[in-house]
Structure 1
Amino acid sequence: MDAVTEGSGTSTAPALSADRLSKHFGDRVAFEEVSFEIGYGEVFGFLGPNGAGKTTTVRTLGTLLTPTSGSATVAGLPLTPENGVEIRRQISIMPESPGLYLRLSVLENLQCFADLYEVPAARDRIDDALGAVRLPDRANDACGALSKGLRQRVALARALLNDPQVLFLDEPTSGLDPVAAREVHDLIDGLRRRGVTIFLTTHRLDEAERLCDRVAILNTALRTIGRPDQLRDELFARTLTVRTVAPIPEPDHVFLGVPGVAGWHEDGPSTYVLTVADPAVAAPGVTRALVKADADVLSITVSHHSLEDVYLELVDNDVPVGRS
């Protein structure tokens, strides 16, 4: 395939962008004033609860729905009715349900869709797509005889037939076991290396944290956009957790004189949570202070908030944070 190599880009323009994009169905708001930019070769996670507007956003960017207001560019092209055909040539959408003909073989399915898409050099493209998803040896198997994980890989091969610049993946690992999900993750990593821009909607927050360069959290309106580590830093204070064999007689004297320690509180018997500016800077001083106080230390650990913590904080509490 001839996808743009990572970082090269055919233009300085983003692969995908939205500027105050909205979609209403009568009085019902599907999503409201969504704005973002996504670079070529980026894996962009789009997260949110059911009914948040994720799939409607994908359908709108994929030219299947007309936005109510706002503007967007897709594969560098303005999202307008006149550009619909050309945009669809540059993108692919893989829905949650593969939508394959189960009585046909893998090869027959791909030939059918290649004909529908009017793919040039169709057999070469099919061979490339099967190789990309590591299924050339299953080309003659009936799709109905494949596991769900293998059918997802066939669906991904179908999405690659037109050599897309932008690939929309809607819940690509839904219902898959851990082994099959990991195989799909590996395929997504491979597409990233080939320079394909991937717009990934998922409910699996561990998946988004592993795969995505940046994530957006949507709940009708955007709550935030940023790198997972950046969002954690914005929402949660950095902490060190100290566990000792026995309670420290005077914790204030031990902790509050250490550079970089802003405060502390107890979190159970002989467990102390210290708020720090930089764990790497504060930890050595905390260790020395504990040794000086003759404390028997069991552990000193740096807290780690997951993307799930960020998601729940934003969605449950409707907390706005900065965007980048």
Structure 2
Amino acid sequence: MIDAVNLTKKFGDVTAVDGLTFHVAEGEAFGFLGPNGAGKTTTVRMLCCLIAKTGGEARIAGYDTGNEADSLEIRRMIGFMPENVGLYGELGARQNLDFYARLYDRTEQQRMESIERLLRLLGLWEKKDQPVGTFSKGMKQKVAIARALVHDPEILFLDEPTANLDPEAAKTVRDFILDLKKEKKTIFLNTHNLDEAQKLCDRIGIIRTHLLRTGTPEELKEALWGSKTVIQLEEVNDRIVAAVKHHTSGKVVVEGHRLVIDVINVESENPGLVGAVFAAGGRIQFVQGLNPTLEDVYLKTVREETP
């Protein structure tokens, strides 16, 4: 549904996006995870035909973003929620949405049905005629999401949809995105919120100008972290450490009174590791697997790529 091959954008001598290649399948929620300035927004703006690429290719449902005629078709089939909502503050929520819906040649009945459905889903129907300028930041964010969906697009681009929102408003927005996933919308999400990416995305790309890694959250954890066993002891000494290192080819790290050991197969390796500790006189308090978070994976990836 979304394809990029060596997609590049330069602003003068500055390379904002450097040779991105990726594919997003129909009905998939794909997330770009990266720090501010990583190129996330620039990438989305190229995919939405808002700025021209410098090099490479990008296609949406087979249409070329660099072709003027194709770009019109792309704009008809996508919805875009920018980081800055850009609503008309003097107009009500319903009027804002109707203005944008008219740009997509929707009939009056289609517009009214779509607007009411979206505002009800987002809990804004009772405030439909209040000026948007009086809304809270979270309410404006909801209207912006409704605007991106008012013409029932096949593909939705969301740029930092919960940025600067309070926890309650952010949860409402995330829950709504989860509902969109159930409708099999293709969703491209920009975020630097690790928890958000984990909850909403089927696959994640970690970006820092160029694409560092892609995969499901679990694939990224496995590829970058692997399996680890933690053995907590009453006391760690050189004899115990030597015994464990003799028993395994994996890396052994001493962290206070615990050993963190790289393993390939937890079920087959842990009994031998425990036996080696006992034989060396160690007194074990507990044994557990060490499960990395997406934050661990993200920080490891970004730090490895830091010059």
TM over 0.5, shorter chain:
yes
Match of 1:73 in 2: 59
Q: Which residue of structure 2 aligns with residue 148 of structure 1? A: 137
Q: Which of residues 265, 268, 284 is equivalent to 2:253? A: 265
Look up the match of 1:235.
224
CA offsets, 1:179-228, max 9 Å, x none?
Answer: 22111111111111101111111111221122111111222221121112
The answer to whether the aligner puts 1:299 opposite 2:286 as a matched pair is yes
Equivalent position to 2:158, from 155, 160, 169: 169
Counterpart in 1 of 2:261? 274
The verdict on how the C-alpha distance between 1:196 and 1:246 changes in structure 2, with shifts beyond 3 A counting, is: same
Aligned to 1:322: none
**How far has the Cα of 1:144 moved from its partner?**
2.9
Question: 1: CA distance between counterparts of 2:241 and 2:12?
Answer: 60
Residue 102 of structure 2 is aligned to residue 115 of structure 1: yes
1:157 is matched with which residue? 146
CA contact (8 A) 1:261 1:277 kept: no
1:130 to 119, 125, 135: 119
Distance 1:219 1:188 in 2: 25
Q: Go from structure 1 to structure 2 and tell me whether the alpha carbon gap of 1:221 and 1:112 turns closer, same or farther (over 3 Å shift).
A: same
List aligned pairs for 1:53-68, cutoff 5 A: 53-68=39-54
Measure the CA separation in 2 of the matches of 1:179 and 1:287.
Answer: 46
Contact between 2:29 and 2:187, CA under 8 Å: does it hold in 1? yes
CA distance in 1, matches of 2:195, 2:241: 37
Q: For 2:116, give the aligned amino acid.
A: D
Give the whole-Å Cα distance in 2 for the aligned partners of 1:210 and 1:286. 35
Stretch deviating more after TM superposition (164-173 or 98-107): 98-107
Shift, 1:77, TM fit: 2.0
Which residues in structure 2 correspond to 1:1-324 (within 5 Å)?
Answer: 15-79=1-65, 80-120=67-107, 121-247=110-236, 250-252=239-241, 255=244, 262-268=250-256, 270-287=257-274, 295-318=282-305
What amino acid is the match of 1:174?
Answer: A
TM-score computed with the length of structure 2 as normaliser: 0.89
Higher mean alpha-carbon deviation, 238-247 vs 33-42, is at: 238-247
Q: Which has the higher helix share?
A: 2
The 8 Å contact of residues 63 and 71 in structure 2, kept in 1 or not, is answered as: no
Aligned residues between the structures:
303
Partner of 1:5: none
* Preserved CA contact (<8 Å) 1:95 1:169: yes
What's the TM-score, normalizing by structure 1? 0.84
Deviation of the 1:17 alpha carbon: 0.5
Question: CA separation of 1:254/1:137 partners in 2, compared to 1, >3 Å: closer, same or farther?
Answer: farther
CA distances 1:278-324 after superposition (whole Å, capped 9, x unpaired) = 334434554566567775433322222222222222223218xxxxx
Match of 1:9 in 2: none
Call closer, same or farther: CA 1:123–1:251 in 2, change over 3 Å: same
For the structure 1 residues 282 and 175, does the alpha-carbon distance in structure 2 shift closer, same or farther, using more than 3 Å as the test?
A: same
Distance 1:30 1:265 in 2: 39
Match of 1:11 in 2: none
Q: Percent identity?
A: 39
Instruction: Give 3-state SS (helix, strand or coil) of 1:250's partner.
Output: helix
